[in-house]
């Protein structure tokens, strides 16, 4: 991933240095487990632990000859260790090291992603509480529906991010797994107890069964989860972009001092950060497709997944982290225009309360079908004749027979529709 969208802490996790350091940890933990069983002399283990290291430049130099990065790595380590290096990589196959180390890297990356999710949820909750009763127009199909509050809109986002956190926790556990089962998964040289011990020392779960590789449905689930979280961020960003449209202008992403919106039009304040989030979410969905393609490998293993994963795992975790942190800043500093929200409620001159009127008429004994017909007739006059809804209702003989003028006026009351806002908040933000 280009530096623009790769946070530094994620870049460090996926750096060559950390990858090789994770490989070395797998090798060392295996040596310790073998030494505990008397398979490696104590003095040899001491020499390995004291001297084991690698040189990235040297690994690349060796790989030019071997065309095998793990062999290049163990060769470089052997140059540091000396004769006792014969115990390193004993009974292991390359993928034992690579997949187990990758499980460690994914666990590290997941911890950062979960923290970023928590940061966004905190920001959403704060703004939701701030705007718990900030009235605005609810829309369905892009058309004015009934009155809601901006806080309720954000409460929906908060609850969605709760589900995303749960998904991410499950997916992280699914890939925080290691395997040391050998060339075809039979534990032909090291027993399952070695695998369990090494994985336990690294904070990973041992795979119950594996081939030469961990099965890639795990990674497909992980990338699919990342894509789902990204889709939620895309949804939030798209909503802000709609609210920032000039004709709506109910909320705007922050616009910094000195920021420029257009090279040609000085007046422009565009939702560029939200658009960036929407664009990056498309990458995440593509990575998920690639991960699904990686599930089907030939027999006990082929290497077709490897090249793809070198790209999609660092990129997906880095991009999602960038998106989460970006959206946290957007939500925290979002410019909200409550007065514009009220003006937009008034645009349709009372039509937002037609549903309440329908209920009021049925309480008076009017058949629902008749009440709907009367109200729709009045509503069409608002749309087509530019009338006020209450005026049209007051001129309708059927409506005025069923309701007094005071009862008609009382319809235009958002509190009737929002009486349960506090109950919703209590349910969403429960401890």
Q: Are residues 195 and 146 in the same domain?
A: yes
Q: Are residues 52 and 178 in the same domain?
A: no
- Report the CATH number at residue 84: 1.10.275.10
Q: Which of 289, 307, 338 is the last residue of a domain?
A: 338
Residue 179 lies in a domain: yes
Is the separation of the CB atoms in 185 and 300 below 8 Å? yes
Closest among 87, 89, 102 to 35, alpha carbons compared:
87
Helix (H) or strand (E) holding 402: helix 397-402
- Report the CATH number at residue 388: 1.10.40.30
Q: Are residues 110 and 220 in the same domain?
A: yes
Q: What are phi and psi of 313, to 5 degrees?
A: -70, -50
Taking the CA atoms of residue 313, residue 315, residue 320 and residue 322 in that order, the dihedral angle to the nearest 10 degrees is: 140
Helix (H) or strand (E) holding 322: helix 304-332
Closest among 170, 168, 102, 63 to 306, alpha carbons compared:
102
Q: Which of 55, 90, 125 is the last residue of a domain?
A: 90
Contacts of residue 324, defined as CB under 8 A and 6 or more positions apart, other chains included, come to: 113, 116, 117, 119, 120, 229, 233
Structural domain harbouring 42:
9-90
| Number of CB atoms found within 10 A of residue 66's CB | 13
| CA distance between the termini of the chain | 38
Is the separation of the CB atoms in 201 and 90 below 8 Å? no
The count of domains in the chain is 3
Residue 262 lies in a domain: no
Residue 326 lies in a domain: yes
Q: Are residues 74 and 178 in the same domain?
A: no
Residue 29 lies in a domain: yes
Q: Are residues 16 and 102 in the same domain?
A: no
Give CA–CA dist 103/173, Å, rounded: 10
Closest among 360, 163, 344, 326 to 243, alpha carbons compared:
344
Residue 278 lies in a domain: yes
- Report the CATH number at residue 100: 1.20.200.10
Q: Are residues 136 and 152 in the same domain?
A: yes
Q: Which of 66, 90, 114 is the last residue of a domain?
A: 90
Q: Are residues 141 and 223 in the same domain?
A: yes
Closest among 322, 262, 269 to 113, alpha carbons compared:
322
Quote the pLDDT of residue 416.
83
Q: Are residues 54 and 170 in the same domain?
A: no
Helix ranges (H only) for 135-210 are 150-175, 192-201
Give CA–CA dist 418/82, Å, rounded: 75
Give CA–CA dist 411/353, Å, rounded: 6
Rg (CA), the chain: 30
Q: Are residues 246 and 324 in the same domain?
A: yes
Q: What are phi and psi of 140, to 5 degrees?
A: -130, 135
Closest among 137, 199, 191 to 343, alpha carbons compared:
137
For each of the chain's 431 residues, which pLDDT tens digit applies? 678 889 999 999 999 999 999 999 999 999 999 999 999 999 999 999 999 999 999 999 999 999 999 999 999 999 999 999 999 999 999 999 999 999 999 999 999 999 999 999 999 999 999 999 999 999 999 999 999 999 999 999 999 999 999 999 999 999 999 999 999 999 999 999 999 999 999 999 999 999 999 999 999 999 999 999 999 999 999 999 999 999 999 999 987 777 776 667 777 788 899 999 999 999 999 999 999 999 999 998 989 898 999 999 999 999 999 999 999 999 999 999 999 999 999 999 999 999 999 999 999 999 999 999 999 999 999 989 888 999 999 999 999 999 999 999 988 888 888 999 999 999 999 85
Closest among 83, 80, 74 to 30, alpha carbons compared:
74
Question: In terms of C-beta density within 10 A (0-12 exposed, 13-18 middle, 19 or more buried), how is residue 74 classed?
Answer: buried
Q: Are residues 179 and 239 in the same domain?
A: yes
Q: Are residues 200 and 274 in the same domain?
A: yes
Helix axes 368-385, 354-363, angle to 10 degrees: 150
Give CA–CA dist 12/374, Å, rounded: 66
| Number of CB atoms found within 10 A of residue 423's CB | 9
Contacts of residue 200, defined as CB under 8 A and 6 or more positions apart, other chains included, come to: 206
Q: Are residues 167 and 312 in the same domain?
A: yes
Give CA–CA dist 252/157, Å, rounded: 17
Is the torsion defined by CA of 319, 98, 23, 62 positive or negative? negative
Give CA–CA dist 347/31, Å, rounded: 74
Catalytic residue numbers read 141, 262
Residue 430 lies in a domain: no
Assign residue 185 a region (left: φ > 0; alpha: ψ between -120 and 50; beta: otherwise).
left
Residue whose structure tokens are 């008397």: 38
Give CA–CA dist 130/113, Å, rounded: 26
DSSP-derived 3-state class of residue 336: strand
DSSP-derived 3-state class of residue 260: coil
Residue 369 lies in a domain: yes
Taking the CA atoms of residue 351, residue 355, residue 358 and residue 363 in that order, the dihedral angle to the nearest 10 degrees is: -130
Quote the pLDDT of residue 46.
97
Residue 256 lies in a domain: no
What are the C-alpha distances in Å from 84 to residues 25, 41, 72, 313? 17, 10, 17, 34
- Is the pTM value of this prediction over 0.85? yes
Work out the widest C-alpha separation in the chain, in whole angstroms.
Answer: 102
Pull the structure tokens for residue 8.
């530094």
């Amino acid at each position: 991933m280009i530096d623009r969208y790769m946070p530094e802490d994620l870049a460090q996790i996926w750096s060559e240095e950390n990858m090789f350091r994770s490989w070395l940890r797998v090798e060392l933990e295996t040596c310790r487990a073998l030494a505990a069983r008397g398979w490696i002399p104590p003095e040899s283990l001491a020499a390995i632990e004291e001297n084991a290291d690698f040189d990235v430049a040297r690994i690349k130099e060796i790989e030019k000859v071997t065309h095998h990065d793990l062999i290049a790595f163990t060769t470089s380590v052997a140059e540091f260790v000396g004769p006792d290096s014969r115990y390193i990589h004993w009974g292991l196959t390359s993928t034992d090291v690579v997949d187990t180390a990758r499980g460690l890297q994914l666990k590290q990356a997941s911890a950062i992603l979960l923290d970023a999710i928590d940061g966004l949820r905190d920001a959403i909750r704060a703004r939701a509480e701030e705007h718990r009763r900030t009235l605005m127009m609810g829309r369905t199909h892009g058309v004015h529906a009934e009155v809601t509050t901006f806080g309720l809109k954000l409460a929906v986002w908060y609850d969605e991010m709760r589900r995303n956190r749960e998904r991410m926790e499950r997916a992280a556990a699914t890939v925080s797994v290691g395997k040391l089962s050998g060339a075809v998964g039979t534990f032909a040289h090291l027993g399952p107890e070695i695998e369990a011990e090494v994985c336990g020392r690294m904070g990973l779960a041992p795979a119950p069964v594996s081939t030469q590789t961990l099965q890639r449905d795990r990674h497909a689930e992980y990338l699919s989860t990342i894509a789902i979280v990204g889709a939620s961020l895309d949804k939030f960003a798209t909503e802000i972009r709609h609210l920032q449209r000039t004709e709506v202008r109910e909320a705007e992403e922050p616009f910094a001092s000195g920021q420029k919106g257009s090279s040609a039009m000085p007046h422009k304040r565009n939702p560029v950060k939200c658009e960036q989030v929407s664009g990056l979410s498309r990458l995440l969905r593509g990575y998920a497709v690639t991960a699904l393609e990686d599930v089907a490998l030939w027999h006990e293993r082929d290497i077709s997944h490897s090249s793809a994963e070198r790209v999609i795992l660092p990129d997906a975790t880095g991009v999602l982290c960038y998106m989460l942190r970006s959206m946290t800043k957007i939500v925290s500093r979002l410019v909200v225009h409550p007065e514009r929200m009220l003006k937009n409620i008034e645009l349709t001159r009372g039509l937002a309360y037609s549903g309440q009127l329908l209920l009021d008429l049925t309480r008076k004994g009017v058949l629902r079908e008749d009440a709907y017909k009367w109200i729709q007739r009045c509503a069409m006059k608002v749309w087509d004749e530019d009338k006020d809804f209450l005026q049209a209702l007051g001129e309708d003989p059927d409506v005025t027979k069923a309701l007094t003028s005071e009862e008609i006026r009382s319809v235009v009351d958002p509190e009737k529709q929002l009486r349960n806002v506090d109950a919703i908040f209590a349910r969403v933000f429960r401890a």
